[in-house]
Amino acid sequence: MTTAIDSATQATIDHWLNGNYDSDTKAAIRTLLDNGESTELIDSFYKNLEFGTGGLRGVIGVGSNRMNRYTVGAATQGLANYLNAAFPDQAIKVAIAHDSRRMSPEFARIVADIFSANGMEVYLFSSLRPTPELSFAIRQLGCQSGIVVTASHNPPEYNGYKAYWNDGGQVVAPHDKNIITEVNKITSIDDVKFEGVPERIHLIDEEIDSVYVERIKSNSINPEVIARQKDLNIVYTPIHGTGITLVPRVLEALGFTNVNIVEEQAKPDGDFPTVKSPNPEERDAMRLALEKAEAINADLIMATDPDADRVGSGARNHHGEFELLNGNQMASLIIYYLLQAWKDNGKLTGKEFVAKTIVTTDLIDKMCAEYGVFCYNTLTGFKYIAQIIRELEGQQQFIGGGEESYGYLIGDFVRDKDAIASCAMIAELTAYAKDKGLSLFDLLMEMYQKFGFYYEGLISLTKKGKSGAEEIQQMMADFRANPPKQIAGSPVLRVDDYASLERTDLTTGEKTAIEAGKMGIESSNVLQFFTADGTKVSARPSGTEPKIKFYVGVNEPLARKEDFDAVYEQLKQKVQTVMTDLNLK
């Protein structure tokens, strides 16, 4: 049974068949029509692919709702128009990189052509490169903007691009909304300047690579420890992505001599043939790395996602089994190592800071307080951490930061999560632990003994369609109208509502403002509940998927490493109790 195509969608299809689109595109549309692929046609043409606050993302194919030459072209022309308006009378420079996905090199070249046709100097990486290196290149070359062609860890049929500003961070307010306005003004492909100006397009590679590698080397805190533990047994996989270009090189530059690549996943391949999803948050993506680590008795596993901005890791636990560390654990370990090293080296002056997102573990806040270091909390999204770094430049010094979704940053020469620099730091802190006769997992337990055992759980509820969206909306409305009085037996003391930017003290009824407009905070549909025993629950509807996510954080003291298993079970049970109390199903 074929689905009837509505008149508006048919009008868009007719426009593509009759407009100045290339013959291959028109032939592909006719094939869909001839084959009666009405469902595919509707999905491809019923709307325009949206340029969101982070950029562009969609399925590759023909149509107004697909990633192709024309939708990429219209988005890029709108961005070019905004850049020319935002930087009048300036010679504008733009950097461009791409990942290993299908059509990524082609899309990168289209973007380069359009920027060059709009009078801009374009610095295009000659082959695939990690997203964080694009951020670095923007600052290194003094660019006003940058684009990386990637769809992160989405399925193979997707591609997209992320837009960056002159500080190397992804675009934030007001530029994000302003760019969307300009993109929406492009109503015809005849408005797009596709004809590139070759002399304005400059290929870049080693001149950026070498400086970037040296800057990452400068993050190293204990090079003498690496020298002693240079044969640390490391297994690394780029999961068919861009990490292969620089992670092995950086580890070698630091002095590590025993880096073992998962060969089945070493070759960049946009089909990601060995995994269901190229996402290091998922155990399946780490399966081959785990098998190799067992076979060679490795000390450390690391896996980067396709655009190498996030990294998953694993080490042997106290039972001798390989255990994958989650994003909260690794972010905490990195910050713990950095804080202690800055203290040991006498570098803490009271003007240093760490930044993380509001749904990331409060263990980081606790540690920063102990070390006398500011800890800033931002909305979800690394662009907000970049915004804080920019706003505090010259006033406070950024040590590091991270988010629970496996993204970390050390130092401020990159302004996005950086899996290349993170792999270097994770390898170093594993070497540091081994130098003390400990495993990475031992170091984790040591941190919990000092500051408390913090454990986080996430439940993601999928609610599809119009009714699902309404259900999510109703859940948030109910929580706002009737916030829970207690959670898991502990009274709720405070509610933070980021939609109204209002904080309510439930013990006094006093309401205070959550300051917006700076420091990574703006109005967002997020609710947080804080209890007397330190439990934190965050409710956040997804902006891109039909989901609502609940982040639960609980903690208990850990007196001895021997108590780890018992306390771990206690915390897991507490998270389940929280979810039951809030009727999350």
The pLDDT of 110-137, averaged and rounded, is 98
Is domain 211-451 given the CATH code 3.20.20.10 in the classification?
no
- pLDDT value at residue 521: 85
CATH 3.40.120.10 spans which residues of the chain? 47-204, 211-451
pLDDT surpassing 90 at residue 180: yes
Under the banding of pLDDT at 50, 70 and 90, the label for residue 2 is low
Q: pTM value? A: 0.96
Percent of the chain residues past pLDDT 70, beyond the cut: 98
Q: Does the pLDDT at position 518 exceed 60?
A: no
CATH class for domain 453-582? alpha beta
152 in catalytic set: yes
> Residue 525 — very low, low, confident or very high, per pLDDT cuts 50/70/90?
very high
Query: Looking at the predicted structure, is the pLDDT value of residue 544 above 80?
Result: no
DSSP codes of every residue in 93-140: EEEEEE-SSTTHHHHHHHHHHHHHHTT-EEEEESS---HHHHHHHHHH
Q: By C-alpha distance, which of 443, 438, 347 is closest to 397?
A: 347
pLDDT in tens, 18-72: 999 999 999 999 999 998 888 899 999 999 998 887 899 999 999 999 999 999 9
Which one of 145, 152, 220, 313 is the catalytic residue? 152
According to the CATH classification, is domain 47-204 in 3.90.1150.10?
Answer: no
Tell me if 484 sits within 8 A of 581, measured CB to CB.
yes
Range(s) within the chain of domains with CATH label 3.30.310: 453-582
pLDDT at residue 517 above 60?
A: no
Q: How far apart are CA 291 and CA 264, in angstroms?
A: 12
- The separation between the first and the last C-alpha atoms of the chain, rounded to the nearest angstrom, is 35
